[in-house]
A and B are shown apart, each in its own frame.
Chain A
Amino acid sequence: QKEVEQNSGPLSVPEGAIASLNCTYSDRGSQSFFWYRQYSGKSPELIMFIYSNGDKEDGRFTAQLNKASQYVSLLIRDSQPSDSATYLCAVRRGKTSYDKVIFGPGTSLSVIP
């Protein structure tokens, strides 16, 4: 079993719709959870970071964490063509900068105008 898994893409949504990206992880001791956006040819850009159960909202983005189910998701409301990118879920066992971050395989999102 891979440490971090994401729903396979590519995912296509029409402009203005909600894009839903899912991620599961195997290490029950994980404490920090990240969503990165990566445009083709660019390095990953941190868009959301969550560490407690529940929802965390930042603009059009909402991250949801359920540690009991070992599940984290990212919702993108009012999707725009500029949101078209690969979204990487990442997990860290600890909470500090000493701990390594493990990435999922990524989900490619395409927002159709």
Chain B
Amino acid sequence: SAVISQKPSRDICQRGTSLTIQCQVDSQVTMMFWYRQQPGQSLTLIATANQGSEATYESGFVIDKFPISRPNLTFSTLTVSNMSPEDSSIYLCSVGRDREQTGAEAFFGQGTRLTVV
């Protein structure tokens, strides 16, 4: 499996502010994925971060609201900008680990629980 560390593990933020979430992986990976899990819901993909290029955002998510950095092959950040209570969610970083015979498995960090007040 992959070891994925996310910081912070949780935070309570004031509306209108921004929070940057960090994701550190124990080995180099090409793609890193950011997900959101709203209360009582499943995981929704926000964007795919490829080192050296702009992140690719899913429908309903925009760069101005969720800017992503990917400075190297083991690290990425997701910023939640101009927060509102609707942004209260768990944010998760994910990476894949390729296996020659069976294809890649997908692993998650422990998540960042964000509460916006």
B20: min CB distance to chain A, Å: 19
Q: Decide yes or no: A43 and B103 within 8 Å by CB, A97-B31, A100-B48, A103-B43 being known contacts.
A: no
- Evaluate contact between A105 and B111: CB separation under 8 angstroms: no
Q: Which residues of A contact B44 (CB under 8 A)?
A: 103
A-B contact count (CB 8 A): 69
What secondary structure prevails in chain A residues at the interface with B? loop
User: Which residues of B are found within 8 Å of A102, using beta-carbon distances?
Assistant: 45
Q: Is A65 an interface residue (CB 8 A)?
A: no
Cβ of A51 < 8 Å from any Cβ of B?
yes
Q: Tell me if A88 is interfacial: C-beta within 8 Å of chain B.
A: yes
In Å, the complex CA distance between A90 and B107 comes to 12
> Is A34's CB within 8 Å of the partner chain B?
yes
CB of B108 within 8 A of CB of A43, answer yes
Q: Please determine whether B45 and A97 come into contact, CB atoms closer than 8 angstroms.
A: no
Number of interface residues of A (CB under 8 A): 26
Complex Cα distance A105/B43, Å? 8
Known A49-B102, A103-B43; 13 more pairs at CB < 8 Å: A43-B92, A43-B109, A44-B108, A51-B102, A97-B30, A97-B31, A97-B95, A97-B106, A99-B96, A100-B45, A101-B33, A101-B96, A103-B44
Show 29 A/B contacts (Cβ-Cβ < 8 Å), sorted by A. A31-B103, A32-B103, A34-B105, A42-B110, A43-B92, A43-B108, A43-B110, A44-B108, A46-B105, A46-B106, A90-B43, A90-B106, A96-B96, A97-B29, A97-B30, A97-B104, A97-B106, A98-B31, A98-B96, A100-B48, A101-B45, A101-B96, A101-B106, A102-B45, A103-B35, A103-B42, A103-B43, A103-B44, A106-B42
6 interchain residue pairs of minimum CB distance: A97-B96, A95-B103, A97-B104, A103-B43, A43-B111, A43-B108
What is A's interface to B at a CB cutoff of 8 Å?
31-32, 34, 41-44, 46, 49, 51, 88, 90, 92, 94-106
